[in-house]
Amino acid sequence: MALREWIDERFPLTEFIERHITKYPTPKNLNYWWNFGSLAGAFFAVQVITGIWLAMYYKPSTELAFDSVQHIMRDVNYGWLIRYLHAIGPTGFFFAVYIHMARGIYYGSYKSPRELIWWIGLAIYLALMAEAFMGYLLPWGQMSFWGATVITNLFSAIPVIGSKFVIWLRGDFAVGDPTLGRFFSFHTTFIPLGIIGLLLVFHLTALHRVGSNNPAGIDLDKKGPAVVPFSPYYVTKDLWFISLIFTVYLYFVFFKPDFFLEPINNEPANPFATPLEIVPEWYFLPFYAILRSIPSKLGGVVAMGGAIFILAFLPYLDRSPVRSARYRPIKRVLTWLFFLNFLVLGYVGAHPPFGVMVLIGRIATFYYFLYFLLLLIIPAFEKTRPLPKEVEL
């Protein structure tokens, strides 16, 4: 391999491949919950590629945006395919990210020495939400317009400068052409490549510094029998799992493309007529439910923002030295309840805020925050099960 040597003298190619792929030590005992990070990465790649292609025909102007999407759907070769891949991709992306985060919470992957991985991941999640929200405006349908109107109006809850800030954010006195232009710019350049892409590199760099957590939550000897090289073991497992989930993803793309899309977004934006019901995409529903559960404008916005930011304090709220909930009977129950509660919030968010829905929403919101308080308290009395010395296979 003369070429390989020539390159290695000038660029650490072999070193990089060995360090991060062929000799990167990975715990033997990872279960399928550890597959969702690479799955999210695969969805990210699909979004970037299809996005680059869509931008070839999409026109970011209020006059042309809606029609340019129709043009892509009807006239451009395979435009329907690329657009459906891009429109349904976020569902897969958020599905992967939520399970990835839930795995981190359950197995205590946020604990020392992985706090930075957790925080970088949260930043990716925040950027992802901004990315999805801005992208949703681009087709310039009814839900695009009114969703953007409502979400930008959230910032009007900021005391004193709120209303001025909203105008600055929109570049107009209502969501309009300047808003569409800046959302397109951010959505296609800075957020995906400058923020998400960069943070992804940081996320993996930090991960490869300390290595993956594992279901037992114990530190493994990186040279010991409990680890296997990432390639071929986890390359093949990841590829297999990505293929499996992509089969479901492509089923929706080809056979049920409208399943995750709002029918009313097939109507062009009309600033004179608000749709009867404004429902965000499913991946925002739990936070939307928290927003609606608080009967105060500022309070709702603070609660919604706080619901996300409180995750950043997890490494300090949860002081137990035991990582994995497998060996923590109380945290285990509370965490499953927390996940169930998150789904309940999503259910509430999908329904109009009347009658019993309001009550369920408030109880679920209460438990969402209570969970973090309980995590702070339970180590004082929780009897943890003995940790294994070596991983059981």
Q: Which residues in this chain contact another protein in the complex, by CB under 8 A?
A: 49, 53, 56-57, 71, 74-79, 81-82
- Helices marked H in 56-139: 65-74, 79-106, 115-137
User: Any bridge partners for residue 26, and if so which?
Assistant: 228
> Containing H/E element for 227?
strand 227-229
Is 238 a known active-site residue?
Answer: yes
Give whichever of 133 and 249 is closer to another protein, judged by the CB atom.
249
Q: In this complex, which beta carbon is closest to another protein, that of residue 69 or of residue 143?
A: 69
Distance from C-alpha of 238 to C-alpha of 299, rounded to nearest angstrom:
42
Distance CA 368, CA 366 (A): 5
Whether residue 281 lies in the annotated active site = yes
Question: Among residues 76 and 169, whose Cβ is nearest to another protein?
Answer: 76
Catalytic residue among 38, 109, 212, 320: 212
Q: What share of the chain is helix, strand, coil (3-state, %, to 5)?
A: 70, 0, 30
Enter the tokens of residue 307. 């619901």
Cα–Cα dist 347/338, whole Å: 14
The catalytic residue among 281, 320, 324, 331 is 281
Among 131, 187, 238, 320, which one carries the catalytic annotation?
Answer: 238
Instruction: Based on the residue annotation, tell me whether 212 is a catalytic residue of this protein.
Output: yes
Active site residue 203: no
Asked whether 54 and 262 are in contact (CB, 8 A), the reply is no
Cis peptide before 232 (omega within 30 of 0): yes
Question: Which CB, 49 or 317, lies closer to another protein?
Answer: 49
Cβ atoms within 10 Å of 12's Cβ, excluding its own: 12
Query: Shortest Cβ distance from residue 19 to another protein (Å)?
Result: 22
Between 50 and 149, name the residue whose CB sits nearer to another protein.
50
Residues in the chain: 393
Residue 76 CB, nearest approach to another protein (Å): 4
Cβ contact 28:390 at 8 Å: no
Q: Find all residues with CB under 8 Å of 375, minimum gap 6, and list them.
A: 314, 317, 318, 331, 334
Tokens linked to 37? 């990070």
Q: What is the secondary structure of 286-345 as a DSSP string?
A: HHHHHHHHSSSHHHHHHHHHHHHHGGGGHHHH---S---GGG-HHHHHHHHHHHHHHHHH
Pick the closer one to another protein by CB: 77 or 272. 77
Which residue lies nearer to another protein by CB, 11 or 78? 78
The catalytic residue among 237, 267, 297, 382 is 237
Minimum distance of another protein from residue 238's CB (angstroms): 13
Beta carbon of residue 7, minimum distance to another protein (angstroms, whole number) = 22
- Neighbouring C-alpha atoms within 13 Å toward the C-beta of 69: 23
- The nearest distance, CB 301 to another protein, in angstroms, is 41
Catalytic residue among 28, 208, 297, 351: 208
Question: Please, which residues have CB within 8 angstroms of residue 230's CB and are 6 or more apart in sequence?
Answer: 20, 21, 22, 24, 25, 26
For the CB of residue 252, give the shortest distance to another protein in the complex, in Å: 17
Closest approach of another protein to the CB of residue 77, in Å: 4
Residues annotated as part of the active site = 208, 212, 237-238, 281
